[in-house]
Amino acid sequence: MASTVEIPLVGGAADGQHVTVELDSNGRPPLTHHHIGSGGLAEAQIYELESAGDTAQQWQYHWRGPAV
């Protein structure tokens, strides 16, 4: 069973929400998250992983823009 972590989304339409993602074999989450809006793929937003603290396992996904 893969380990998971809950990561906050910062900025964009999903600001303040959290997503649960699987960690890779090195204990890191995916580099990007594509957040699907209420309008489906037409409203998808791209979030990019960044460090959010001093320890190796404190992350956040920061909004980068629309996926289309």
C-beta of residue 24 within 8 angstroms of C-beta of residue 44: no
Looking up tokens 């791209």 gives: 46
Q: What gap in Å lies between CA 20 and CA 6, rounded to an integer?
A: 4
pLDDT reported for residue 55: 64
pLDDT reported for residue 1: 58
pLDDT over threshold 90, residue 8: yes
C-beta of residue 61 within 8 angstroms of C-beta of residue 51: no
pLDDT reported for residue 35: 94
What is the CA 48 to chain-centroid distance, rounded? Answer: 6
Q: Which tens digits make up the pLDDT trace of 13-66?
A: 899 999 999 999 999 999 999 999 888 888 899 999 999 877 656 899 999 999
pLDDT reported for residue 68: 77
